[in-house]
Amino acid sequence: MPGRLLGGRYQVQDRIGTGGMATVYRGQDEVLGRTVAIKTMLPQYANDPSFAARFKQEAQAAAALQSPYIVSVYDWGKDGDTYYIIMEYLRGTDLKSGIKKHGALDCKKVAQIGSQIAQALSVAHRHDIIHRDIKPQNIMVQPDGNIKVMDFGIARAKNSHLTQDNSVLGTAHYVSPEQTQGKELGPTTDIYSLGIVMYEAATGQVPFQGDDAISVALKQVNEQPKPPSQLNPAVDPSLESIILKCMQKNPADRFQTALELYHVLRDYLAGRMAQVNSATAVLPGSAAAVADTSKLEPGQGMAPGNTASMPRVSRTGQYRPQRATEEAAEQEEERDRKRKRNIVIGAVCGVIAAVAIVFALVNVLGSASKTYPVPNLAGKTADEAQTAITQDGHFKMGETKESYSSSVEQGKVMDQDPRASRQMPEGTTINIVISKGEEPKEQVSVPNLTNMTPKEAQEACTKVGLTAVAGDEVEDDNIEEGRIAKQDVEADSSAEKGTKVTYHISKGTSQVVIPNVVGDSEDSATTTLKNAGFEVSVQYSESSDSVGKVISTSPKNGSSATKGSTVTITVGKAPSKVSVPSVIGMTYSDAADKLKANGFYAGLASGSSSNGIVTDQSETTATKGDTIYLTTKVESSSNGGSGSNGSGTGTTGGSTNGTGGSTQQ
């Protein structure tokens, strides 16, 4: 797979991970020039037509999810028999590896991770996408500590029926009871899985262990988890209550939306314990203990809206009503002693007090006998909320406050007290909090990162409250390799505190292919090479065929050279003239041989014969390769010569080499 080009665009590079369904590679988007993660489906799933159809549907849906806590899906496709998803390339490690390496996390970190996952799920659920595979392996922890949820694209197709795949033990540790039973799933199934993720993050281990997926899944359905504090005494009761509510077997007993869970975790992180206790007040199986507020232990109390907070869980995992009962009995004995003294001191006062108490109790019980569900005001305007509160006459409009929110639109209800769906007495006052939108962040000046090392860039950005993030590498002729060549947010501009400044490291001077200019004129070749980024040097060589044209280049055309380097072109020039040796007095044949040896050709002048003696030549200087025309004269033989074909016998009638006679004139 490495080296393959998918979809004519995505270059597959090294493998960075393998799972039960797919292999993930680091790759390069050749069109946009950015690093991406390429997830390719394993062949046994890619060859299943039903899976392929679901894969396409889910990948397209996942690409529409926009959240800082969801990994971005850029593209998907099929190349041959390979299905692939193109995703945002993340740096960091998955949460599972982090827990294995560092063990249990502190409570605040667990709540922070949980709140970010809840926000990611809230976005997905609004798009009717249920993740179905929330587990630490699918949570990427980035270098800045924030998380990204992965695998929205194939989760639904992958985990429709866990019981059909006994090999997926890692997934079985996190699935909801209804998921193992093949029931219809809703947002609360992801909330259950998130509860187990927080459980593992807080304790360092999953709540249910087993030898195979089926045994673990059965425990998900039938067994209650040990309270996290039993495994890690550092887990505080409030966070424990949140986790255990997420993990209720009955979906109706969990938080009903990811947004509701996010609000509770946000309250926990902000130290608003009363609101946390109110949200987790009644857990199934402990309602009786909660309802009897006279038996609450010290430190417990009534949450807003007259609902008792969740009873504290002991380190042995058992509720402790016995101690509360004993303390209540002691208090009752003390009250009896005081009443006896009061009777002795003044019976009349006691009677009056008793009557007053009875009257008060009758009033309280009478008013509390009728309760109504609190309307859900989330996302309503202040006017809409007031109408919803007062329209039936059961509740009263209370105080309206404003607060900043990064997740709720400005002007809409972001919080309410009491919370939605709680049963409250008639006449209860409902307070609301209206979102002011995202809190404006402080503006800072962006530092100039050019020529810095990545470490220097990180320090410079951190100093002013920004985050430096590495982007793709780029070629740069002026910046040393390994140093920053450019940044996406302009230097010295203003940016909100917390903004990510992406920088690009130089790969050094770029290499350019030398264009073919052989045969071009000197001027044309020089222009072409300079436009390609080269300097040009010209040398000349004599050439009778390519005068004024480029004969060759150095380095050769088609090879690569550093941009800005010099390319030498060789241009042909007319050959220069040289002296022609004298051949006068020689026979034509000898004269021709001598001229050829000196780079010339011999030719007969008009009226001359090849059997004669050279009496004149046309040039004394000429360009090599030129033809020198020779004038010859045939001399008469004094004693007569033989016929034209006979050998010469006279001293003057024959040729100088004595091989051929001349015809007598």
Return the pLDDT at 116: 97
Q: Find where tokens 């595979």 sit.
A: 133
On whether both 467 and 495 belong to a single domain, the answer is: yes
Residue type, 479: I
Q: Is residue 295 a known part of a binding site? A: no
Give the tokens for residue 32: 């946009």
Compute the distance between CA of residue 311 and CA of residue 301 in angstroms, rounded to an integer. 9
Does a structural domain hold residue 322? no
Beta carbons of 72 and 62 less than 8 angstroms apart: no
Please list the ranges in the chain whose pLDDT falls under 50.
Answer: 155-170, 285-329, 343-369, 638-665
Q: Does residue 271 lie in a domain region?
A: yes
Does residue 357 sit within a domain?
yes
Residues 28 and 147 in one domain: no
Q: What angle do CA 363, 367, 371 make, to 5 degrees?
A: 160
Judged on CB neighbours under 10 Å (0-12, 13-18, 19+), 553 is buried
| Last-in-domain residue among 280, 307, 334 | 280
* Domain match, 131 and 209 both: yes
The catalytic residue among 94, 133, 415, 476 is 133
Residue given tokens 């008009």 in the structure block = 606
Six-digit token string for 116: 């970010």
Distance (Å, whole) CA 162 – CA 168: 8
In 27-76, where does DSSP find H-type helix?
Answer: 43-46, 49-63
Contact 425, 371 (CB under 8 A): yes
Spell out the long-range contacts of 474-478 with Cβ–Cβ below 8 A and sequence spacing 24 or more.
Answer: 474/504, 474/505, 474/506, 474/507, 475/506, 475/507, 475/508, 475/509, 475/510, 476/506, 476/507, 476/508, 476/509, 476/510, 477/509, 477/510, 477/563, 477/564
Write down the number of H helices and E strands in the chain: 20, 31
Residues 129 and 215 in one domain: yes
Range of the domain at 531: 511-573
In a domain, 335, yes or no: no
**Same domain membership, residue 233 and residue 141:** yes
- Do 150 and 243 have their domain in common? yes
Model pLDDT, residue 151: 80
Partnered with residue 423 across adjacent β-strands are: 373
Q: Looking at residue 508, what is its pLDDT?
A: 75
Is residue 553 in a domain?
A: yes
Same domain, 117 and 261: yes
pLDDT of residue 165: 39
Q: Please provide the DSSP assignment of 127-159 as one string.
A: TT-------GGGEEEPTTS-EEE--TTTHHHHT
Q: Which DSSP helix (H) or strand (E) runs through 116?
A: helix 107-126
Q: In the structure encoding, which two tokens stand for residue 168, read together? A: 């997926």
Q: What is the distance, to the nearest Å, from the Cα of residue 283 to the centroid of all Cα atoms in its chain?
A: 40
Got the DSSP string for 163-221? Answer: GG-TT-HHHHTT--HHHHTT----HHHHHHHHHHHHHHHHHSS-S---SSHHHHHHHHH
Regarding whether 430 and 566 lie in a shared domain, the answer is no
When divided into structural domains, the chain yields a total of: 6
Q: What share of the chain is helix, strand, coil (3-state, %, to 5)?
A: 35, 25, 45
**DSSP per residue over 376-406, as a string?**
--TT--HHHHHHHHHTTSSSEEEEEEEE--S
Domain end, chosen from 226, 256, 280, is at: 280
Dist. CA 557–CA 515, nearest whole Å: 6
| C-beta neighbour count of 407 within 10 angstroms | 16
Q: Is 29 a catalytic residue?
A: no
Q: Which of 264, 280, 296 is the last residue of a domain?
A: 280
Residues 568 and 537: beta-carbon distance below 8 Å: yes
In whole angstroms, give the CA distance from residue 353 to residue 342: 11
Residue 323 lies in a domain: no
Residues 138 and 275 in one domain: yes
| Residues 181, 42 within the same domain | no
Structural domain contains residue 334: no
Same domain? 153 vs 67: no
What's the pTM value of the predicted model, to 2 decimals?
0.45
Q: Is 602 helix (H, G, I), strand (E, B) or coil?
A: strand
User: d(Cα 527, Cα 525) in Å, to the nearest integer?
Assistant: 5
| CATH code, domain carrying 526 | 3.30.10.20
Position 641 in a domain? no
Residues 6+ apart with CB under 8 A from 537: 566, 567, 568, 569
Report helix, strand or coil for 637. Answer: coil
Q: Are residues 133 and 259 in the same domain?
A: yes
SS3 for 478-489 is: CCCCCCEEEECC
Length of the chain: 665
Distance in angstroms (rounded) separating the CA atoms of residues 545 and 554:
20
SS3 534: coil
Strand bridging mode 396-403 / 429-435: parallel
